[in-house]
């Protein structure tokens, strides 16, 4: 069944997949929009706005993916019906409130749909609190779906190398269209690149194991290799503070 957007959030999701630079709009709407979640509130029928009294019981239905439990959430009734094939009770909850309520749980938006999004507990935490010390990097970069563990590991290394000014990340596919896509990190620095790469590799092995990526120095005055493509992306790191206009409101 072709994917037909039901609301502004789904329109933003499709745009983010096709044009990663628009990802900030998707994440903003994810927090602002009402989402659907399978479950019930004690003493209430569900499907409508609900209130949870002190001591009240909220029961949410989880799913399982590769042996791991997750919370399925949906951007519309149509997306939920793609996942649930029988009549089920559900709740409509503001996105920010729902993610705040379920902190610590892996979340999948539209798990049976052509357009969806997996959110790890760390990504949820950064969405809700982008300025937290444990999540020092703005969530939004040129890529809608990038590895947050690697992003945070890189930011920690960059903070220890004062010569690093800016960093970008794009995804590169090597070979045909079905080949594996991996991150390419561009770093603007006047320091020792070999020492920086060694620290990056050490941090990545420890905090983001299994992620294959490449690193390239970026010289704005003489962009070589993939530097030109990197410079067209929004930076995910800039010394001295968050990237202007990139933090979620």
**Domain annotation for the chain: domains and CATH numbers:** 8-128 (no CATH), 148-238 (3.30.300.30)
Dihedrals phi, psi of 151, to nearest 5 degrees: -55, -50
Non-local CB neighbours of 214 within 8 Å, separated by 6+ positions:
172, 182, 183, 184, 185
| pLDDT value of position 245 | 30
| pLDDT value of position 244 | 34
Tokens of 33: 């929009």
| pLDDT value of position 146 | 61
Task: Look at the block and give the residue holding tokens 């947050």.
Answer: 148
| pLDDT value of position 42 | 67
| pLDDT value of position 249 | 22
| pLDDT value of position 66 | 77
| pLDDT value of position 57 | 62
Closest CA to 204 of 162, 138, 154, 137: 154
| pLDDT value of position 233 | 74
| pLDDT value of position 248 | 25
Residue 19: exposure state from Cβ atoms within 10 A (0-12, 13-18, ≥19): exposed
- Contact (Cβ atoms closer than 8 angstroms) between residue 185 and residue 227: no
- Contact (Cβ atoms closer than 8 angstroms) between residue 60 and residue 99: no
| pLDDT value of position 21 | 74
| Burial 28-65, CB ≥16 within 10 A → b, else e | bbbbebbbbbbbbbeebebeeebeeeeeeebebeeeee
* Long-range CB contacts (within 8 A, 24+) of 105-108: 105/62, 105/69, 105/70, 105/71, 106/68, 106/69, 106/70, 106/71, 107/70, 107/71, 107/72, 107/73, 108/63, 108/65, 108/70, 108/71, 108/72, 108/73
* pLDDT digit string (tens) for the chain, length 249 residues: 678 999 999 999 998 888 877 888 898 899 999 999 998 876 666 555 555 544 456 778 888 877 888 999 999 999 999 999 888 888 888 888 888 878 778 899 999 898 888 888 888 887 887 644 433 333 233 334 467 888 889 999 999 999 999 998 877 653 334 445 678 888 999 999 999 999 999 999 999 888 888 898 998 888 766 677 777 777 888 887 544 333 222
Closest CA to 112 of 138, 149, 73: 73
Tokens of 85: 């094939």
Q: How far apart are CA 21 and CA 19, in angstroms?
A: 6
- Contact (Cβ atoms closer than 8 angstroms) between residue 111 and residue 75: no
| pLDDT value of position 139 | 28
């Amino acid at each position: 069944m072709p994917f037909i957007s039901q609301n502004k959030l789904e329109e933003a999701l499709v745009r983010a997949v096709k044009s990663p630079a628009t990802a900030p709009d998707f994440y903003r709407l994810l927090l602002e929009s009402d989402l659907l979640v399978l479950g019930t509130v004690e003493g209430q029928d569900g499907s409508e706005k609900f209130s949870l009294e002190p001591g009240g019981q909220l029961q949410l239905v989880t799913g399982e993916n590769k042996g791991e439990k997750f919370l399925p959430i949906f951007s519309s009734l149509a997306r939920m019906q793609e996942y649930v094939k029988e009549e089920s009770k559900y709740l409509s909850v503001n996105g920010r409130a729902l993610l705040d309520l379920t902190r610590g749980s892996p979340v999948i938006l539209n798990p049976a749909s052509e357009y969806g999004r997996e959110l790890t507990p760390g990504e949820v935490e950064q969405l809700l609190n982008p300025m937290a010390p444990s999540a020092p990097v703005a969530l939004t970069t040129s890529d809608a779906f990038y590895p947050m563990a690697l992003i945070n590991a890189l930011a920690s290394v960059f903070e220890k190398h004062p010569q690093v000014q800016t960093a970008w990340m794009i995804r590169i596919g090597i070979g045909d269209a079905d080949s594996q896509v991996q991150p390419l990190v561009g770093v603007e620095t006047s320091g020792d690149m070999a020492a920086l790469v060694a620290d990056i590799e050490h941090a990545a092995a420890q905090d983001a194991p299994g992620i294959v990526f490449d690193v390239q120095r970026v010289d704005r005055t003489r962009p070589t290799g993939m530097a030109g493509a990197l410079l067209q992306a929004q930076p995910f790191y800039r010394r001295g503070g968050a990237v202007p206009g990139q933090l979620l409101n």
